Structure 1
Amino acid sequence: MNAEYKDPSLIRNKLSLDFFSALGVLSPSSRHVLLSINGKHEGIYLQLESVDEFFLKKRQLPVGPIFYAIDDDANFSLIGSFDKTPKTSLDAGYERKLGTREDHRYLEEFIFKLNTTPKYEYESVMSKLLDVNKYLRWLAGVVCTQNFDGFVHNYALYRNPDSGLFEIIPWDFDATWGRDINGKQMDYDYVRIEGFNTLTARLLDIKRFRKMYYDIMKHTLDHEFTVEFMKPKVEQLYQQLRPHVVNDPYIKDRIEQFDGEPERICDFLEKRNTYLKNQLSTLL
């Protein structure tokens, strides 16, 4: 249960996770609920699906290890985010949600090879470790929604035992659609089209992967990341929540701000779409 307290719209997290699903990325399902404890009305919360064995079963996926990125050391680098020194462990920044201690060897191999494989071998090696297409779809989603923390945090890794490939799953995306982690307004051009982190930089240094990302991003900007596609979803969520916001003891005094958020989200979307379309040529 997430209170979504720093998001004045209460919908950015769900909007983002549903957006990732539309892009073909594994993503948790979510729904808004009204919470009462011992008869006391506690307001609106977002009920989030856990990324665990039930998540896999629901999608008819084989059981495989799942690792949560629990801090910024999950930055796909050999260098820590905090002290900028070499990590003492290749799986630093991750917590195993599903699997055994032996499964950490897959994660460690992945982190090691994504950092140390020379460029001339990179396409071949990474294609055997990572579902690159789905990673680039995830990257498009993070870049479009502009979750700055999403590049080194706010995700889970699942290794499909049938394919032997890692897939990335988004998590905690309320700081999006024009708001930062504190709920403050974020400029529409804050995050560049290439995104950030070591894995992304190395993948986009490979011509075939960069062209793949270009095609994914162009399609996304023409179809899913548009006012036409997203505005009805924004308005539907707003209309569902509006009657209950006035009864939420923690946010009812912010009703005017809540009422203005759908327009703010769509304004951000329109400006960010234009900005990213203007940046597309840099990927060629």
Structure 2
Amino acid sequence: MELTRRAAWTGLLCLGSALPARAESIGGYSGLGVALASFAVYGLIAVVLLVMLIRAKWRRAGLWSLGVVATLAIGPPFLSQSWQAWKLSAMEGREIVGKPPSLASRTPLFIAHRSVCDEVYDDACAAAIVGRGEPGVYFLDSDALDGIDLTKPVALADLPLEFWNSEKEIEGDPQIQSRPLSPSERTEAAGRIDYVVIMWPGGWPYPIAEALDLALRSNPTLNGMRTGESMNIGLAPLDPALGVLSFADLRFDLLDLLLWDDALALPLAPENRQPARNDIAGAAVAAEALCPDEEDFPRRNCVGLVMDGK
């Protein structure tokens, strides 16, 4: 009897250790392969436990084994998800939902990775630019800011400003066009820009530029950002009389943050992760400010994408 019980426990331990070992052996495979392997191992464990529970002489060991497996499969993910929920709650407590003005009444400067602002059908940033039409927006590519000390006020005329706007082609599809500004145009723009829109400056798959990250963290509202956190959307006024961009002095009308933290998902298995639930702070308010006030494609697309957090 004792020998049989020991054999059952030994088999169970071998099956439990097979999960990470199997995952390591297929490390070069796709995530689907790892998932299938995990399901297979859990299935094998379930079969062994079922046999142990059916056989009277192994039933007690089977019950203990079932408890151990359930604890391992559920316990670590529960603790991981609880820790993630606490971090998300703390981060959301630092977000700001005020009353930003409509961009239609402002001369905005957009700061973003250019790749998230030129896809008309995929990004709220692009939809907001399309909505402004020919008046357009001034634009700063976040990648072009590396090497510039943005932790102190910088004259807008000294930054690599671009002008982005859109026109409708004959077929009716909006097209975004952009061009760099000349030194004289940058000087003129510096005296007109009165609002800044920072959108997705460091969200996957676009890493945030180091200079921009340091600049954002110099702001009192953002210097508490932890590892794994980044800005998603920030809207703040600028004084055109000063003609400078000072990240440390921005007073946000709206601020939404992202938590790039994956918790362990149920059941415990290699690469089985659960991303943080990142709701857009003040999504309706952000959409009202960013999206054109007209019932056509740009507004519908922009509102939907802002609500979805894209």
Please indicate, yes or no, whether the TM-score normalized by the shorter chain is above 0.5.
no
Structure in which a larger fraction of residues adopt strand: 2
TM-score normalised by length of structure 1: 0.25
State the TM-score, normalizing by the size of structure 2: 0.24
